[in-house]
Amino acid sequence: MLALVLSLPLCAQVPDKETLAAQAERFRALMRGAPQLALRFSEFPVQAPNAGWAMEMVSSVAVEPSGAIYLLQRGSKADPVIVADRQGRILRTWGKGLFKIPHSIRVDPAGNVWTTDAASSMVYKFSREGKKLVEISVGGLPVAPRSEFCGTTDIAFASGGRIFISDGYANARILEYNAARADESANGARPEPARASSTCRTGSLSIGTESSMSPTAKTAAFSASASMGITSASGVTWGKRSH
């Protein structure tokens, strides 16, 4: 996966190949000049609560300030959302039957837990205890997808209760929901995004301090946005995955 900080201005024009190549080279130069940090891999064994319990692929991990670790897994012998302490002891689980392809899990600044589904494009907000608080049906799924991976991929949180959802596999777009629209589902309505990225081919997105969102979408190099985040300067980052 390649992660880039996307802070280019409005996509008024489609960059030519030379411009894209120059941008790529500048990024590679930054990477070469970055300090090399030591990376140590370690296993995190989760203690099975019973003999028939088992996890399969863990697609995403999040950690809350208290130290609890949230795992989102895709196996049928355990709930999709698993919360464990740092010793691997399970604290609580939930989510059976809600997901097709669990993709990302995030903890927002208030301690709520959010998940995305790469097949159904359903986004859920839970309390830390697992009570479902909000669901967002992002929609826009292709009629005949080339892959079952065709929906939402990640979520990030900005100031003022705004959330940004990457609808990355089939649509290669970023959606912004404000707090009021995200909470509409609690009243049975389908929330609509406050803004969505356009289809101009820049692969860039920026969010200004005046809650402005620069239109953006995909280029040949950014065919699928698989992860995203908010920087301290209110910029949005996304990661690209190629299959």
Structure confidence by residue, pLDDT tens digits, 175-234: 888 875 555 444 444 555 544 544 332 222 323 333 333 333 333 234 455 555 554 444
76, exposed or middle or buried, with CB in 10 Å at 0-12, 13-18, 19+? exposed
pLDDT in tens, 128-151: 999 999 999 888 776 776 778 888
Token reading at 51 = 């003999």
What one-character DSSP code corresponds to residue 148? S
Alpha-carbon gap, residue 93 to 181, rounded angstroms: 28
Query: Which pTM value belongs to this model?
Result: 0.69
Q: What is the mean pLDDT of the chain?
A: 75
Which domains does the chain possess? 2-7+55-240 (2.120.10.30)
In this structure, the number of other CB atoms found within 10 A of the CB of residue 196 comes to: 20
Alpha-carbon gap, residue 57 to 7, rounded angstroms: 33
Q: How confident is the model at residue 161 (pLDDT cuts 50, 70, 90)?
A: confident
Provide the strand spans (E) within the chain: 2-6, 58-63, 69-73, 81-84, 90-94, 102-107, 113-117, 122-126, 132-137, 154-157, 163-167, 173-177, 195-196, 225-230, 236-240
Side-chain half-sphere of 234: how many Cα atoms within 13 Å?
12
